[in-house]
Amino acid sequence: MDEYDFIDGWIIRETTYKPEEESAKATVFALANGYMGLRGAGEELPPTIPGVKGCYINGIYDTPRGKLTEREFPNMPDWTFIQFWADHDPFDPANMGELLEYHRELDTREGVMRRYIRWRSPSGKVVRMESERLLSMTHRHVGVIRYRLLAEQPVHIELRSSIDGAVNNRWAYHFKRFTRRQEGEEDYLEVETFEPGYHIGVMARHEVLTPAQVNVERDDPTDRCVQTIFTFDLQPGQEFELTKWCALTDSRFSEGDLYRLCLAELDSVCALGYDALKAEHEQRWEDLWQSSDLQIEGDDKAQMGIRFAVFHLLAAAPYHDERISIPARGLQGQDYYGSIFWDCEIFVLPLFIYTQPQVARNILRYRYHTLEGAKRKAKRLGFQGAYYAWQSQETGDEQCDLYVFTNPLTGEPIRSYFADEQIHISADIVYAVWQYVQATGDERFWLDGGAEILVEVARFFVSRAHWNAERGRYELRSVLGPDEYHERVNNNVYTNAMAQFSVEKALEVLSLLQGKYPEAYDALKVKTGLTDGEVARWQDFARKVYVPAPDPQTRLIPQFDGYFKLRDEPVEQTRKRLAHPDLHPGGPLGPYQETQNIKQADVVLLLYLLRDRYDTETKLANWRYYEPRTAHDSSLSPMVYSLVAADVGMVDWAYKYFLYTAHIDLASYGPHWNLGIHAASLGGAWQAVVNGFCQLELTAEGIRFLKPPVIPSHWWSVQFRVVWHGQPVQVRVDGRSAELTNMGADEVPVLNPQCRAVIAPGESWRWEYA
């Protein structure tokens, strides 16, 4: 994290070029606008370098050879590809010539990436290159690069600007057909994927500003590339400026001829001009930051991490469409196939519930649009209701293979249980829906599919449960909890408690509809085939499902049946017993299954999500027990320990895990760090501040402080805005007090452990807690 400069509280800049780290840095400096994402690699780099350049359209996936393990969102043709030669020497600062000056920066306030390079060619010519790029937040199909060259000696330049379809992908190549057109001022490349056969159109138009005389030629050097070539001579001090306008459209989300759609997009933005388009784009970012910024005074490292986190999550958000969501690695890389996991609902969504509720609604509506896929999955496995895909894409059908891993010692595939036994995914979605409605007051969501989600998830859990007649309880057997190293366990406490929560909330919503929206209630019963007898079974399940309780003496909660009987040893000792570094550490072949050591937060996550159900003594006892036994081999783990540490007053521990989480991509921690952002970690960092240090949550009753805030002692203050039931509220917390200002038009209730108050519009409420 120390290799970046943090300028003016908004700009993240590197000043040392390390080509060997470009795969990681391309994630850090990536851009996105909800429709597409663009990795932050240099324009001159070939698109064939593994894991470096990439452009992805949210919601476009492809299966080139029928394998689930290759179904990912494709890397689109590289429209950023710009190369130049100075007196026949290629501009290749990684390998040729001398790099005299360098910086690359991500301006999180404006949503642009800039590069500056001063380079001496092998023949001694010094050329300055400056570039600025953006993905328009107001014209989501458009990306623009402004590219400048300035000569310090007389030099002949040949510059080639391409759209190149010979791109690298994470798992497989995804284009089976190419169509090239070069008409008028436009270069155009259209590609077709294998399955389901999406078409993507990519068009470029160039504008040149220079005193030099420029010769322009068009070329199609390969069957998957179109190119415009500019040749000119620059004298000392002369500049060549190229504005490369690009438009991307696709056949899933757009109707009509893609060529004409691209042309219309470029006509629209070129009529505006670069400066006007950029001003619109910056204004949109200013509006987003006004709602979602989180200011930390007194700690630049923390501020940089939070601004980085919120920027990348806002960039990836589905503002325009409820058929897509936020992938586990955002729109900034191809890892995890571009799929949607539980990460989104549990760790990413809270930022949007609190600050961008319409986006949160879109994200949850995605789960309604994929409900039929979840029902198909449950039926295929012999259950009723909706079992959501562990790895979800367009339709909600399961995209996670049953054999994710390979045994490196034998070459044989290893059976994994993510797809068929990690059933908590359905409960996680219900939890997110419930939190959304409580925070926003959007009861209409129940009528727009939310109630149907709850009904089908409750139906699934009750059908999946086993009745233990001897003990008089329902059990959930052979499951995989958040800790993915212990497979096929019985009564994972997280899974059972969240299943109980899901059924309880389904019953509450049915009661609400029956009393307040009787017509909707009747329609729901007809659509889902719900009967009074089935509802009675749900009530019985909610009362009798087994949720392991804390031990009366130790307050410890077993993660699953028999957990405390497993071998207890240091995590590092377990790591050393891994037979091969590439062997999956969990399951029967890995060393963790027979120990109490776990991959990631499990019981501790439950203590955060259902924090009102457990006392401080229980939270503290389990945090202290499970923390030294947690390997943190998942990016989803550290922020959970931060949240619960803050809840029990261990601020130093909370800060340690918060900072790790906020900087996970900046510091390139952990596996797969170079293949996209860790969206869950970035969302978890925001939660660690708002829900953890500030102890604030949005409830149906109002804005609630669970306890007095516990911000780190070196922080001067924390400021952010939340939206409660449509009313924006500005929050400021320091080491002694909390102040809330109602920026809306209606009253806002606020609660703390000592009192309840109501904040009138335009008024402030202050709580002196220390």
In this structure, what token pair is assigned to residue 313? 């999550």
Please state the φ and ψ torsions of residue 637, each to the nearest 5 degrees: -95, -50
DSSP code, position 400: -
User: How many Å from the N-terminal Cα to the C-terminal Cα in the chain?
Assistant: 33
Instruction: Give the side-chain half-sphere CA count within 13 A for 56.
Output: 40
Which residues fall within 8 angstroms of residue 343, CB to CB, at 6 or more apart?
328, 636, 679, 680, 683
In this structure, what token pair is assigned to residue 493? 């406490």
Instruction: Give the side-chain half-sphere CA count within 13 A for 179.
Output: 12
Does a cis peptide bond (omega within 30 degrees of 0) precede residue 196? Answer: yes
- Virtual CA dihedral for 175, 206, 276, 109, nearest 10 degrees? 50
27 burial level (CB within 10 Å; 0-12, 13-18, 19+): buried
Instruction: Give the side-chain half-sphere CA count within 13 A for 422.
Output: 22
| Angstrom distance (rounded) from CA 493 to CA 484 | 14
**C-alpha distances out from residue 256 to 201, 250, 252, 262, 394, Å:** 11, 10, 11, 11, 21
Amino acid, res. 650: M
| Angstrom distance (rounded) from CA 404 to CA 270 | 47
Q: Which residue has the tokens 């759209």?
A: 163
Catalytic residues: 484
| Angstrom distance (rounded) from CA 708 to CA 134 | 42
- Contact (CB, 8 A) for 311 and 648: no
| Angstrom distance (rounded) from CA 348 to CA 364 | 12
3-class state of residue 492 by DSSP: coil
| Angstrom distance (rounded) from CA 388 to CA 356 | 25
Amino acid, res. 628: P
Give the long-range contacts of residues 699-702, CB within 8 A, separation 24 or more.
699/438, 699/439, 699/751, 700/437, 700/438, 700/441, 701/749, 701/751, 702/748, 702/749, 702/750, 702/751, 702/756
Of the candidates 242, 20, 260, 291, the residue with the CA atom closest to the CA atom of residue 129: 242
Q: Which residue has the tokens 């501790």?
A: 604
